[in-house]
Structure 1
Amino acid sequence: MASIYPATTQPNARQRAGFLSSIRRNLPLSVGLGILWLVAMVLVAIFADRIRPYGITQMDLTSRLAPPGMLKHLLGTDELGRDVLSRLIQSIRLSLVIAFGATLLSAVFGTALGFAAAQFRGLVEHLVLALADFQAALPFLIMSLAVLAFFGSSMVLLVCLMGFYGWERYARIARGLAISAGAQGYAASVVQLGATPARVYLRHILPNVASTLIVSMTLTFPEIILMESGLSFLGLGVQPPATSLGNMVGFGREYLTRAPWIMLAPAAVIMLTTLSISLVGDWLRDRLDPTVR
C-alpha cells in the first residue's frame, strides 16, 4: 500500500529522529567531557602560579608575535612578547573568581529577598516583585557600562556589579518554593514546635529548594562569564596589568589578521567553559527534578 505522505517527508522525519536519538545517546559523553573540562579549569585556576611558565607582564621583545608551536611559547606571544599561555592561565583564574563570586552573591541576595517576600507577604512581597520586574526590564549591560564609566573599574566594584545580575531569578524561585513549602504543612509544624522563622527557612525550607537554586546557578554562571568578558572587551572590566579572558580578547582583536592566536585562545576557553556549564546544568536539572523522572 502506498504511503499517504510525500516521499520527501519520510527521509526528513527519519533524519530528525536519528539526529535526536544520537543526541540522547551522546549526552552522557558530552556531560562527562563538560565535567572534565570544568574540573581542568578549576585546577588551572587553583594552581595557576605553579603551572604558569612566565609572569603575565614578562616581555620578550625578540619573540614578538611569535606563532604557536614553539617549545619556548606553546601558544605564541602577543604584541609585547608576553607569553599567551601564561596570560591565558591567569585569565582563567581571574574570570572564574569573578564569575563564582558574582554568582554566589546573586544567589544569596536573591534567595534572601525571595524568602523575605514569602515570610512577610503584603507590602514587602509587592516591593520585592516590583524590584524584580524592574531588574528584569533593565538593560543590565548599559547600566554596567554607565556605573563603571562613572565610578571607575575595580575588582570589588566589578564583582558586586556582576552580583546584581540575575538576582530576580533566585528571588522568584525562592519565593515560590517557600510559599509551596509552607502550604505543604511541614514548615508550619516546625513553627508550632517553637522554631524561629530564620531556623525554619535555613534548616528546613532551604535544603528542600537547594537543588532548584543550584540549577539556577549553573544558568547564571556562564551568563556572568560572558557579561564580564563583554565589559572587559569594551575596556571597562578588568584593567591592566591584570588580565581576564575578555581582556585578552579585547586586546587581541587589533591583531586578528596578523596574530589570531592572541584572541582565539581565550575565545575558545570562553566558548568551551560556557558550553560545559550549560551541559552540566541541563544534566543537573534532569537529575534533580523529580517531575522529569
Structure 2
Amino acid sequence: MPEAPMNDLALGAPPARKRELPPPLVMFGLIWVGLMLVVALLADLISPFAYTALDLRNRLSPPVFMGGDWLHPLGTDELGRDVLSRLIYSIRTSLIIAFGATIVGAVLGTTLGFLAAHFRGVVENFVMALVDFSASIPFLILALAVLAFFGNSMLLFVLLLGLHAWERYARIARGLAISASAQGYAGAVRQLGARPLRVYGRHILPNIASTLIVSMTLAFPEVILLESGLSFLGLGVQPPATSLGNMVGFGREYLTRAPWILLAPAVVIVLTTLSVSLIGDWLRDRLDPTLR
C-alpha cells in the first residue's frame, strides 16, 4: 500500500510564516510616496501648464473648492501662474534635492566611518573629531553662511544639504564595521587574501545595509524640511525654478488674500515627511535585529 504523506509538523519543519501586510498608516505612507514619485517622473506629461506660464487675466484666481473654475483646479498665484502645475514641478525639484542630499550624506558618512574602523589610531581620532565638530554646529546657521557667501546653485545646494546628518552615518558605519570585523567571517575573508576594499564592500557593507537604509529613511524627511526652510528664507531654489519651500516662501505674502498659494505645497510637505517617517519607523521594526 502507498504510504500516507507525512505531515510537515511531524517532521519538525517550521510552519510557514504568514506574510503580514503593513499597518494602515504605513500603507498610506507607501501609497503617498509612490504617488509623489509618479508625479515627479511624469511631471512633463501630467502638468496642465508650464510652471512659468503667465495668465494675468486670472491673477489670484481661487481653487475649485472655493468657487474657482476647472481651468485652474488649485487656483493661480499673484502672476496668474497655475498653482497645480507649479506644485507638480515643485514636487520633482524637492524630491531630486532630498534624494541627492540623502545619498551624498550616506556615502560620505559611511566611507569615513569605514576609514575610521579600518585604520584606527590617528585616522579614527581625526574622523571622530570631525564628527563631533559637525554635530556641535547648528546646520541651519552653517547653511545660511555658506549660501550667503558662495551664492547658490543646484549642485552646491544638494552637496550642502548632503552634509546634514553625515556624522550619523559615520558613527553607525564605524561601530558596525568594528563589530563585523571582530566576527569570524571578516577575519576568514582576510585570511584568504581579500583586499580591504573587497572586505568592506562585499562582506561588511551588505551586513550593515539594513541599518543604514533605515537611517536614510529617517534622515530623508529632515532634508525635505531643511530644503523647504532654506527656500522659504530665499536661499534655496531660486526663481524661475520652483520647489515646495519656494512656493511656501512666495505664498506667505498672500496668506490672507490667497491662502491656497501657500496651503497646497505646505500640505504636500507635511504628508510627504509624515509618510517617509512612518515608512522609516516600520522598516526599523522589520530590519533592525535588536528590536526583534
TM-score using structure 2 length:
0.91
Q: In structure 1, what is the Cα distance between the partners aligned to 2:179 and 2:239?
A: 48
Deviations 1:181-227 (A, max 9, x none): 01112101100001000000000000000000000001111001000
Query: How do 1:26-65 and structure 2 match up within 5 A?
Result: 28-65=23-60
Query: How do 1:65-214 and structure 2 match up within 5 A?
Result: 65-69=60-64, 70-214=69-213
Match of 2:269 in 1: 270
Deviations 1:44-71 (A, max 9, x none): 0000000000011101111110110121
Match of 1:244 in 2: 243
Q: In structure 2, what is the Cα distance between the partners aligned to 1:57 and 1:189?
A: 60
Q: What is the letter of the counterpart of residue 263 of structure 2?
A: L
Match of 1:22 in 2: none
TM-score using structure 1 length:
0.90
Q: What is the letter of the counterpart of residue 247 of structure 2?
A: M
Q: In structure 2, what is the Cα distance between the partners aligned to 1:281 and 1:138?
A: 26
CA shift, 1:290, in A, is 1.9
CA shift, 1:27, in A, is 7.4
Q: In structure 1, what is the Cα distance between the partners aligned to 2:291 and 2:142?
A: 37
Deviations 1:117-140 (A, max 9, x none): 000000000111110011111111
Q: In structure 1, what is the Cα distance between the partners aligned to 2:43 and 2:187?
A: 49
Moved over 4 A (4+): none
Match of 1:16 in 2: none
Q: What is the letter of the counterpart of residue 217 of structure 2?
A: T
Higher helix share: 1
Unmatched 5+ residue regions in structure 1? 1-25
Q: Look up the SS of the partner of 1:221 in the other structure.
A: helix
CA RMSD of aligned residues (A): 1.0
Q: In structure 2, what is the Cα distance between the partners aligned to 1:84 and 1:291?
A: 46
Q: In structure 1, what is the Cα distance between the partners aligned to 2:136 and 2:184?
A: 35
Q: In structure 2, what is the Cα distance between the partners aligned to 1:200 and 1:291?
A: 24
Identity %: 72
How many aligned residue pairs are there?
Answer: 268
Deviations 1:111-160 (A, max 9, x none): 00000000000000011111001111111101111111111111011001
Q: In structure 2, what is the Cα distance between the partners aligned to 1:210 and 1:29?
A: 26
Match of 1:261 in 2: 260
Match of 1:13 in 2: none
Unmatched 5+ residue regions in structure 2? 1-20
Q: Look up the SS of the partner of 1:291 in the other structure.
A: helix
Q: What is the letter of the counterpart of residue 27 of structure 2?
A: G
Q: In structure 2, what is the Cα distance between the partners aligned to 1:123 and 1:47?
A: 49
CA shift, 1:291, in A, is 2.3
